[in-house]
Amino acid sequence: MTTPAADGPTPRLTLRTSPSGEATHDTFYEQVGGRETFARLVQEFYRGIAEDPVLKPMYPEEDLAPAEERLLLFLEQYWGGPTTYSDTRGHPRLRMRHLPFAVDFDARDRWLSHMRRALDTLNLSPLQEGTLWDYFERAAHAMVNTVDPDHTSS
């Protein structure tokens, strides 16, 4: 077990410059390119949402820009960037915030499909991409709150 360094918190994920190289000690947010990377991810993701006949109606605003900004702020904070999301919106409470919407297996799969496509545009390292994808899969499964008996879980 390691203890945090005196000069700051232990990063959530340690990446190495090469298989036997030195560890980097910045946050995952910084390691993947910070705001620019997450903004590209979210922008590409919402391009898919805008055309999705199942997911688009779940957004109360006609303009997806407010939702895009909320997701960007959330992801930045989650991965070690600025805390603007919590500073302006409070605790994320993801499941509670999604309860008003019927998120079934089809909606989950569509959300994941759009996120996968967006993630594939970033050209991240396999470790970085896998780390993000693992989180997105877990988060999407956790948001399911409606079971459609005609669609089984994958």
Q: Which residues are annotated as a binding site for heme?
A: 141
Which residue ranges are tagged as binding site?
141
Q: Is the dihedral of CA 109, 110, 114, 120 positive or negative?
A: positive
Segment holding 39, helix H or strand E: helix 34-50
Q: State the Cα angle at 98 between 95 and 12, rounded to 5°.
A: 45
User: What DSSP character marks residue 13?
Assistant: S
Per-residue exposure over 107-141, b if at least 16 CB sit within 10 Å of its own CB, e if not: bbebbbebbeebbeebebeeebeebbbeebeebbe
Q: Which of 140, 151, 154, 147 is nearest to 45 (CA)?
A: 140
